[in-house]
Structure 1
Amino acid sequence: MLVASYFYSFFFRISASVVLPRIGAEWGLSATIIGFISALFFYAYACMQPISGALNDRFGPVRIVASGMLLTVISALLMGFANSALLFGIGRFLSGLALAPMLSGALVFQAAAFKNSQYTRLSSITYVVGNLGAVISVAPLELAIKAWGRQDVFIVLAVISLLIAIGLLTQKGRDPIRRRSNPGNQHKPPLSAKSESLRLRLRQAFLTLRRSVQLKALLVVWAVSTAALMVLQGLWAVSWYRSAYNLDLSAASGWATLIGVGVMIGNFVGGHFGNGPLQRRRAIRIFCTAYALCWLTLWLAVSVHLPIYITGLIGLLLGAAAGASHVQCTCAVNDIAPQGKGGALFGMMNLFNFITVIIFQSGTGYLLHWFPAQISGTYTAIGFLVVLGIVAGAVILSLAALFVLQPFSPEIMKEGGGIVTQCKATRHR
Structure 2
Amino acid sequence: MQNDPPTTVPRLAWLLWAVGGTAYIVAVLHRTSFGVAGLEAADRFGTSAGMLASFTVLQLVVYAALQVPAGLLLDRLGPRRMVAGGALVMAAGQAMLAFASDVGFAVAARVLVGAGDAMTFISVLSVVTAWFPVRRIPVFTQLTGLLGQLGQVLSAIPLVALLHGPGWTAAFGSAAALGVFVGVLALVVLRDGPPRKAVRASEVGRNVVEAWRHPGTRLGLWSHFVTQFSANTFALMWGFPYLVSGHELSPARASMLMTLLVLATMISGPFVGRLVGRYPLRRSWLVLGITSLSVAGWAVTLAWPPPAPPWLLVLLVLCVALGGPGSMIGFDYARTFNPPGRQGTATGIVNVGGFVASLVTILLIGLVLDAMSPDGEFTPEAFRVAWTVQIPIWLIGVAGVLRTRSLARRRMAADEALPASTGAGLSR
Mapped to 1, the partners of 2:23 and 2:125 lie a distance apart of 12
**What is the aligned partner in structure 2 of residue 186 from structure 1?**
none
**What is the aligned partner in structure 2 of residue 165 from structure 1?**
183
Alignment of 1:250-261 (within 5 A): 251-261=253-263
- Check the 8 A contact 1:336/1:412 in 2, yes or no: no
Q: Match for 1:346: what amino acid?
A: T
User: CA, structure 1 residues 322+366, in 2 after alignment: closer, same or farther (shift >3 Å)?
Assistant: same
User: CA, structure 1 residues 155+271, in 2 after alignment: closer, same or farther (shift >3 Å)?
Assistant: same
Q: CA deviation at 1:25?
A: 9.2
Coordinate RMSD, CA, aligned: 3.5
Alignment of 1:13-412 (within 5 A): 13-15=31-33, 18-20=36-38, 23=41, 27=46, 29=48, 31=50, 33-134=51-152, 137=155, 145=163, 150-172=168-190, 174-176=191-193, 179-180=195-196, 197-198=200-201, 200-209=203-212, 211-246=213-248, 249=251, 251-275=253-277, 277-300=280-303, 303-308=305-310, 310-319=312-321, 321-372=322-373, 379-391=378-390, 394-395=393-394, 398-404=397-403, 405-406=405-406, 412=412
Q: Deviations over 1:344-397 (max 9, x none)?
A: 1111222344333333333433443335586x7x64443333222212553355
Q: CA deviation at 1:221?
A: 4.2
* Structure 1: gaps of 5 or more residues: 182-188, 418-429
Q: Match for 1:36: what amino acid?
A: S
Mapped to 1, the partners of 2:415 and 2:254 lie a distance apart of 47
**What TM-score, normalized to structure 2?**
0.79
User: CA, structure 1 residues 151+308, in 2 after alignment: closer, same or farther (shift >3 Å)?
Assistant: farther
**What TM-score, normalized to structure 1?**
0.79
Identity, in percent, stands at 19
Q: Deviations over 1:3-61 (max 9, x none)?
A: 12222333343456544477569955264x34532121122212221222222222221
User: CA, structure 1 residues 396+411, in 2 after alignment: closer, same or farther (shift >3 Å)?
Assistant: closer
Q: CA deviation at 1:82?
A: 4.3
Give the SS at the match of 1:128: helix
Q: CA deviation at 1:240?
A: 2.2
Q: CA deviation at 1:309?
A: 5.9
Q: CA deviation at 1:69?
A: 0.6
**What is the aligned partner in structure 2 of residue 422 from structure 1?**
none
- Check the 8 A contact 2:162/2:171 in 1, yes or no: yes
User: CA, structure 1 residues 414+204, in 2 after alignment: closer, same or farther (shift >3 Å)?
Assistant: farther
Mapped to 2, the partners of 1:415 and 1:239 lie a distance apart of 50
Number of equivalenced pairs:
396
Q: CA deviation at 1:270?
A: 1.1
- Check the 8 A contact 1:15/1:234 in 2, yes or no: no
Q: CA deviation at 1:122?
A: 1.6
Q: Deviations over 1:105-147 (max 9, x none)?
A: 1121121222322211221221121233346556886677556
Q: Match for 1:343: what amino acid?
A: G
User: CA, structure 1 residues 20+157, in 2 after alignment: closer, same or farther (shift >3 Å)?
Assistant: same
* Structure 2: gaps of 5 or more residues: 1-18, 418-428
Q: CA deviation at 1:232?
A: 1.5
User: CA, structure 1 residues 324+7, in 2 after alignment: closer, same or farther (shift >3 Å)?
Assistant: same
Q: Match for 1:176: what amino acid?
A: G
User: CA, structure 1 residues 360+414, in 2 after alignment: closer, same or farther (shift >3 Å)?
Assistant: farther
Tell which deviates more after alignment, 56-65 or 236-245: 236-245
Mapped to 1, the partners of 2:40 and 2:297 lie a distance apart of 28
